[in-house]
Structure 1
């Protein structure tokens, strides 16, 4: 009897295994052949699911962002105040700092490798970013884009600062400052 394969699940497994390899070697340093070897599949199998390393990586970005959002929403619940919602967001990033830090470094590496003349790459990355922004805006219950950008920029900056050696900077403390500023800006009592 032939083996039944759930292609979507298998694709997702390939993506998740490739994340670890990208994180170890970087986007620019690894080939499809090395990815296939590291994952334990043939190069042909990898090309069957992903037409190129770039396509694999872009699907990985989308998958990881979706997983981050789903995991965050499942863990965060629905705190009543903006201050508590921001605190939950910073707490989630602190808890998942290693994975999110690796993702950030990979995104930077990927950006360095792109000629950026390919509009489809820019568009795909924009779509993923917009999904994240929309989900965070809905969670925070904040409709002003500039405020959501402020929160995310604070988080991304904090992740990078900690990656580059500033381990003493506290997610809790920084999240508290961001939530206090945001709450005062929107006029919510803390």
Structure 2
């Protein structure tokens, strides 16, 4: 009797295996053949699930973002104030900082290799940003998306600084910057007219 394969589950398993492969070799350096070898599957099997390396990467980005949002909401406590919710978000980022640094470097590598991304790729990545931003708006209970965009850009900046200038060891700096941002956002919210 032939083995029954849950195609979607198997596709996710292949994607999860790609995280480490992309991290080790970089997006630009790894080939479909090397990905197949690393996953211990045939190149034909890999092409059966993914049209290209770009398709693997795009689906991997989506999967990681969805997992990240689910993981956050599974552990996020119910807290009353915006300041407390921001503290929860920044603690989660700090706890996952090494993972986010790895993701950031992969994104930079991807964009270096695909300088002329297709409209479809750019639209897809915009949808990923929007989904993450909307989850941020929901958790923080913000009246609009502008503060969520600001927060996500701020976090990206912190991650970049940790990659290039600070390292994971400089957590006092990370915490200090987080506290400054939280004070600024909470002050902005207190000064904003209530709708």
Q: Distance in 1 between matches of 2:74 and 2:16?
A: 20
Query: How does the TM-score come out when normalised to structure 1?
Result: 0.94
**Aligned residue for 1:182?**
185
Three-state SS of the structure 1 residue aligned to 2:94 is helix
Instruction: Name which structure has the greater RCO, CA cutoff 8 Å, separation 6+.
Output: 1
Partner of 1:166: 166
Pairing of 1:1-190 with structure 2 (within 5 A):
1-116=1-116, 118-167=118-167, 168-169=170-171, 170-187=173-190
Would you identify which runs of 4 or more consecutive aligned residues in structure 1 move more than 3 Å?
none
Contact persistence 1:83–1:179 (CA under 8 A): yes
1:163-183: CA deviations, max 9, x gaps?
113132533322222111111
Q: Distance in 2 between matches of 1:93 and 1:165?
A: 18
Q: Distance in 2 between matches of 1:117 and 1:16?
A: 24
Structure 2 stretches lacking a partner, 5+ long: none
Contact 1:101/1:159, CA 8 A, preserved across alignment: yes
- CA distance, structure 1, for counterparts of residue 78 and residue 11 of structure 2: 32
- CA-based RMSD: 1.4
Long gaps (5+) in structure 1: none
